[in-house]
A = this chain, B = another copy of it.
Amino acid sequence: MFSLGNFLTLSTFGESHGIAYGGIITNFPAGLKVDFDEVQKQLDRRKPGQSSIVTQRKESDTVKFLSGIFEGKTTGTPIGFIIENENQKSKDYGHLENTFRPSHADFTYDQKFGFRDYRGGGRSSARETVNWVVAGSLAKQLLPENVEINAYVSSVGEIFCEKPYQDLDFSKTDSNEVRCPDSETAEKMISKIKEIRKEGNTIGGTITCVIKNLPAGIGEPVFGKLQAELAKAMMNINAAKGFEYGSGFCGAKMTGKEHNDLFNKDFSTKTNLSGGIQGGISNGMDIYFRVAFKPVATILRPQESFDKDGNPVILEGKGRHDPCVLPRAVPIVENLAAFVLADLFLINQLRKI
């Protein structure tokens, strides 16, 4: 309950200013030679301090595997791991014990649990996503080697990457700080983020993710549809506000005649408004979806709020915060998607006698 995955599962723990984050991956098959460099590479893509347009906090974000791997290979038993917290400045947060920051989870945690670990957002911190990147980058290694999962920043504020994904070269995604593979759009996005940062403000955006070469048959008929599992995973990301796949919200404006994907003789489809999924199950075409992210709630400007006793207070974010989470969210989206796919991929192996 409240873990990720159905058969391949990830349970996690951790708070922003606790001792460590970590998790347990269960039902990971035995015999996989783990590519540890790939795991660390994905962590590095997510970590703070990697470029000028993200938070300048420093965390080494090194994962330590505690079990389930022997002589470099998975043993089939639970994989336990931790990522220690290093760069905590808990004192920065003392003033928040009795105060609720606007559009943060401070108030709702207090309502739910009666009190909260107020340091750095506690359990509500997006630092939790470090666990997902570890688990997702391992899970990715269970998928057929030719499965490609590529996410990129498709909009920042009002700046959109107008090119369809088919015209993009995903090998360029990491070539710029904002992780948009279209260099012209990337430049505009970067200037926008720098401008916003200068104002002490933050900005939202969208990430598009494209999955290629997933075999047909992945996903479950009713509860467990591939799009629903992806949506659930994505909507658990901290600032996510929306999810759409294939034609998405645009498809809602269309007619059946326009929207239906006619077959080719080899059962590929002439168009792909379905987004590679029919009846909740992959059909072998590209899967693509888009996730909307709101702007980060912590702004470096004074905001009015109240403390627990209802006294007015002025809050002002300080220090090391992201003006835009999108660039760091790209590996989160990719690796979460990988975990969801690996889970459903394993289950699909039991679908026929």
B11 touches A26 (CB 8 A): yes
**A298 and B256 contact, Cβ closer than 8 Å, known pairs A13-B24, A19-B67, A217-B108:** yes
Most buried by B among A240, A304, A346: A240
Binary contact readout A258-283 vs B (1 if CB under 8 angstroms, 0 otherwise): 11111101110100011101111111
Can you sample 30 A-B contacts with CB below 8 Å?
A1-B6, A15-B70, A15-B75, A19-B64, A19-B66, A20-B80, A29-B351, A30-B352, A31-B113, A70-B122, A75-B113, A76-B113, A100-B267, A105-B221, A105-B278, A111-B216, A112-B351, A113-B351, A157-B252, A204-B251, A204-B254, A225-B235, A241-B244, A241-B245, A248-B292, A251-B294, A252-B294, A260-B303, A265-B310, A349-B349
Q: Is A103 an interface residue (CB 8 A)?
A: yes
Give the Cβ gap from A309 to chain B, nearest Cβ, in Å: 10
A3, closest chain B residue (CB): B223
**A201 and B257 contact, Cβ closer than 8 Å, known pairs A128-B222, A222-B123, A241-B246:** yes
B260 touches A299 (CB 8 A): yes
Alpha-carbon separation in the docked complex, A284 to B312 (Å): 20
Binary contact readout A291-311 vs B (1 if CB under 8 angstroms, 0 otherwise): 011111111010111100010
Q: Is A232 an interface residue (CB 8 A)?
A: yes
**A249 and B206 contact, Cβ closer than 8 Å, known pairs A112-B76, A299-B256, A304-B262:** yes
A208-256 interface (Cβ within 8 A of B): 216-217, 219-225, 227-236, 238, 240-249, 251-256
Q: Is A183 an interface residue (CB 8 A)?
A: no
Q: Is A173 an interface residue (CB 8 A)?
A: no
A323, closest chain B residue (CB): B256
A306 touches B353 (CB 8 A): no
A1-56 interface (Cβ within 8 A of B): 1-4, 6-7, 9, 11-15, 18-24, 26-27, 29-32
Q: Is A107 an interface residue (CB 8 A)?
A: yes
Q: Is A109 an interface residue (CB 8 A)?
A: yes
Q: Is A116 an interface residue (CB 8 A)?
A: yes
Alpha-carbon separation in the docked complex, A329 to B266 (Å): 34
A231 touches B243 (CB 8 A): yes
Chain B residue numbers with a CB within 8 Å of A67 are 13-15, 18-22, 123
Give the Cβ gap from A70 to chain B, nearest Cβ, in Å: 4
Residue in contact with A225 in the complex, picked from B74, B223, B236, CB distance below 8 Å: B236
Q: Is A164 an interface residue (CB 8 A)?
A: no
Give the Cβ gap from A314 to chain B, nearest Cβ, in Å: 11
Q: Is A68 an interface residue (CB 8 A)?
A: yes
A196, closest chain B residue (CB): B255
Q: Is A79 an interface residue (CB 8 A)?
A: yes
A15 touches B77 (CB 8 A): yes
**A13 and B112 contact, Cβ closer than 8 Å, known pairs A255-B295, A261-B103:** no
Chain B residue numbers with a CB within 8 Å of A202 are 255-257
B223 touches A236 (CB 8 A): yes
B222 touches A236 (CB 8 A): yes
Give the Cβ gap from A353 to chain B, nearest Cβ, in Å: 5
Alpha-carbon separation in the docked complex, A267 to B111 (Å): 11
